[in-house]
Chain A
């Protein structure tokens, strides 16, 4: 007969169940010293250490084994870096240079944070009728920002890769009627709350004119989605599919902003023009981006106190579609509601004006690896980008890509290049710009070091961008290179947040300003070249 052992659950006792026990220790004064140890004590371990040392030495003596070297003199920091290696490697000077870069960033932060975004709204300059084709632009008038120090220039595979963008910007600069320069930016959590994009948007709009806020989603894919220059509310009742979740039967139709929403009725969203900032105070054109389907329902759009209008999303053949509503240029309150009659599926709205100026779309993809952009259906994405007609595509991924193993960087580079190609698969692809991720730190004990994978990801992105004919902005170098995560964290004001991965509000503005200065450097060079 089998027997089962019955045990007491608490029989071994918990931490605080024991009684106190102690013994008195009297520290001795005499040393127990019996001379050297017998040699056999070390025989096994001694031969083991010798073998290991020989094995390591072989990796340096045999060139074919160089892949197995535990320390590579040319690329790895000197051993015991902080005590011995820094000066031996001549990096004492590099540390000082890093400090100088930090001072420069702090100075920039002081300037950009002092700029009053709540100042009087921008005044629209008079619009000029464009001259007949081929008659050229008016001469370039230097701008005060041209004298600013550019922390980091753009890297270009050829001097003319951004010319198509600059040509549009030049027409906008000349205030030609209808000359709107659009830029569409995608990025991960570093740009998730629109601060980097809004910083560049505001800087460009201050100089070239405010042509509107640009693209905005119908519902927040996550709590971090927040745009500056537009007051958005509602959206909670929409069903939604965010690209990184590969949902909605993986049909690849996520819309320009990477999040599609749908409702059979009742879901609402509301956008109001800005009333506190100097930007985004006016809108003249509202464009609804949606998926037309045979069973498409209705949208009810209410502008201010006007009578609501119904927009049907029904079509014989399913296709991406757009509906534009013109309103007088000024402040407006736009309410959108799924009004039944079937299911509506939306991609977003565009808020624009008809004055010459710049529009900078911020399409933030929180938590996204760059390769997640390959979830977009190719044809759908091409249609979306072509309809938007941006002069420049900007990509700033990499924060999540840092988790990719260093050994997979070749594959990462290929994937990144594939992403660029997918966005530029149209007949006349827009110019493009890749921004490297910001420097990311990690705690080493109580200190902060740059994550070892940062330079590898930056290099992979640089190679992919330049090979695909895109400009490249080395954000890490602009921040001051390796170690800048720690410097930006301890700067005053703090430019990097406590998680050592995301920029603070001031840090985002600084990066935005750095990008703006780099773009303008290229623009001035372009104007000098074409004139």
Chain B
């Protein structure tokens, strides 16, 4: 079910009222929310082919049962770990590792099969073709179950925490099942960890007038972001450019990338706002997922502010267990690259071929560079440092050019531009001071923002050929500007608003606008929501697009 639909309103209001009524009856409330969550998961608008509810729901049940059972099984051997007999401890450890492995194989196997099988087939085929071997691979066209990337990570966090003895296992199956399927965040996050939600399910939902105001405000904000800045910009402009980049000028392609940057943030953070708001109205708190990411001064900061629940999940469950930054430099760089590579690859959506491999590596390598640049020695011989930086800049430039020529198959002048652009950007970023005033901060923000904007080509393009066409169009430098009439005045305003809004202080909205909002009398709030719904309905002619992150 999609949030900005009449279906959701008809579903949510009765669930809300019933949950409030059952606030003091724990079991009934949990059962109600569990049933509602499965209904939410399986109900959908008119679709063709008809959805496969039992197949999708079955996988959800499988993941739930697997981790519930693993949690209990791990607990059985937990006390043996404290046994004075080393053999008992070793045996218990082996068994616990095997149980953890079962959970990892089950969840990651599910994810790997449904999400990455076609990717590996494509990659294998491309490699074999590159070797000159004719090979036709079967394409399985596997349908990705909605939300599988989210709920598998969610339930894995539980088993890993129990295995690490940072969490005691949940004994109630219903409560555990609700933790896995809690509908506000089930299909597109935020990824809620067991230690964040399960303890709340033991308490009476935290309902108060303040919580209600907070929840309503988040939903209101999320709807505006999602529909106006997310869907509308897409339907009016970006979708068309990414569908046929050959038909657009370089300036229009660049504008489409800026527009997509606004759209993606609005789409996903709008969804997260609605999810957080809906959970709040039900009396639960789920974690924030965004913190004005385009205000980041470095890429590391960007990923701390963008899809925070995924990036911190991989940090806590992969980067730290691998040793984090505690090992040798080489090991630290490897850990860093692998984590960022998997953050990028998590976003892979079927059919996009090499796009996300490139996207993940771009961000992984940029993170490596960021750490190198921060930690490199700034003392000693200036000549030696200068030579190293210039040689490195040339190497980066040549790598960019080679990538453009060989992989993106750009014409020679465009590949030549890549050489210059790569080298110059490397020099600029490397030579910028790490400490300075507001102007320097603004410059760092600008550079980081543009790195995310340009790398979005690989994020949005539906396949690798489209990415290549977009970049070729961008580097055509045809001299034509945005043609009159292509964008309406309202669209320009929405784009400008979306970009500028993001750079304003958070307090303007989260404190000042919220203060005004919470003072509104109930009937005015109700009327505001009705008018907002009407406006959004007319704007999108009753057809909300799917949240982009549904695809992951």
Contacts and interface: CB of A to CB of B under 8 A. Distances in A.
Instruction: Give the size range of A's interface with the partner.
Output: 35 or more
Nearest to B483: A246
A367 B247 contact: yes
A45 B204 contact: no
B301 A82 contact: no
B463 A48 contact: no
Contacts of B529: 48, 52
B7 interface: yes
Interface in B199-257: 199, 202-204, 207-209, 212-213, 216, 235-236, 239-240, 243-244, 246-249
Contacts of B297: 9-10, 12
Contacts of B199: 25, 27-28
Contacts of A54: 526
Interface in B267-318: 281, 297-301, 303-304, 311-312, 315-316
Contact of B526 (A43, A51, A405, A485): A51
A82 B44 contact: yes
A13 B541 contact: no
Given A400-B240, A483-B48, A446 B437 contact: no
A48 B166 contact: no
Contacts of B371: 14
Contacts of A482: 48
B324 interface: yes
A48 B526 contact: yes
Interface in A186-226: 189, 222-224
Contacts of A4: 437-438
A445 interface: yes
Nearest to A52: B526
B209 A448 contact: no
Given A16-B315, A44-B212, A37 B53 contact: no
B402 interface: no
Nearest to B212: A45
A70 B537 contact: yes
A9 B444 contact: yes
Interface stretch (B77-85, B95-103, B143-151): B143-151
A86 B50 contact: yes
Given A31-B26, A35-B24, A56 B195 contact: no
A25 B195 contact: yes
B10 A79 contact: yes
Interface stretch (B126-134, B258-266, B493-501, B517-525): B517-525
B452 to A, nearest CB: 14
Nearest to A489: B141
B26 A33 contact: yes
B202 A189 contact: no
Contacts of A16: 300, 315, 319, 324-325, 335-336, 339-340, 367
Given A56-B530, A70-B533, A490-B49, A446 B209 contact: no
B403 interface: no
A407 interface: yes
A452 B243 contact: no
A34 B297 CA distance: 47
A35 B22 CA distance: 9
Contacts of A222: 246-247
Contact of B45 (A26, A406, A444): A444
Nearest to B434: A9
B39 A83 contact: yes
Interface in A443-485: 443-450, 452-453, 482-485
B543 interface: yes
Nearest to B232: A405
B541 A406 contact: yes
B47 A448 contact: yes
Interface string A53-97: 111100000000000101100001101111101100000000100
Given A49-B13, A83-B53, A34 B243 contact: no
Nearest to A372: B247
Contact of A15 (B13, B315, B550): B315
A68 B319 CA distance: 52
A306 to B, nearest CB: 35
B120 interface: no
Given A24-B167, A37-B23, A486-B48, A15 B546 contact: no
Contacts, number: 303
A486 B542 CA distance: 21
A14 B374 CA distance: 11
Given A33-B26, A366-B247, A450-B48, A9 B440 contact: yes
A196 B340 CA distance: 45
A56 B435 CA distance: 56
B370 A400 contact: no
B166 A446 contact: no
- Indicate the member of B236, B300, B480 with the most A CB atoms within 10 Å: B300
A253 to B, nearest CB: 19
B367 A448 contact: no
A28 B167 CA distance: 11
B436 interface: yes
A43 B522 contact: yes
Contacts of A31: 26, 202-204
B462 interface: yes
B437 A10 contact: no
Contacts of A47: 521-523, 526
A8 interface: yes
A83 B248 CA distance: 42
Contacts of A41: 207-209, 212
Contacts of B44: 81-82, 444-445, 447
Nearest to B534: A68
A15 to B, nearest CB: 4
A249 interface: no
A403 B246 contact: no
Nearest to A44: B522
Nearest to A89: B46
Contacts of A501: 243
Contacts of A13: 300-301, 304
A7 B46 contact: no
B6 interface: yes
Given A41-B208, A44-B522, A81-B45, A15 B26 contact: no
A5 interface: yes
Given A44-B525, A47-B522, A52 B7 contact: no
Nearest to A408: B541
Contact of B20 (A42, A55, A56, A407): A42
A50 interface: yes
Contacts of B212: 41-42, 44-45
Nearest to A446: B144
B235 A403 contact: yes
Given A55-B530, A70-B537, A48 B45 contact: no
Given A4-B438, A43-B522, A498 B351 contact: yes
Contacts of A50: 522-523, 526
B429 to A, nearest CB: 11
B24 A51 contact: no
Of residues B244, B480, B545, which shows the largest number of chain A Cβ atoms within 10 Å of its Cβ? B244
B522 A48 contact: yes
Contacts of A48: 216, 522-523, 525-526, 529
Contacts of A35: 24
Interface string A493-505: 0000011010000
Closest 3 interchain pairs by CB?
A14-B300, A483-B48, A51-B526
Given A17-B325, A448-B48, A499-B243, 14 more contacts: A6-B435, A12-B297, A13-B301, A15-B303, A27-B170, A31-B202, A35-B24, A45-B212, A45-B216, A47-B522, A47-B526, A80-B11, A82-B50, A484-B48
28 contacts: A9-B436, A14-B301, A14-B303, A14-B371, A16-B300, A16-B336, A20-B316, A23-B166, A24-B165, A27-B170, A28-B199, A31-B203, A32-B202, A35-B24, A48-B522, A48-B525, A51-B527, A52-B530, A95-B50, A223-B469, A224-B246, A246-B483, A400-B243, A446-B143, A449-B47, A482-B48, A499-B243, A499-B462
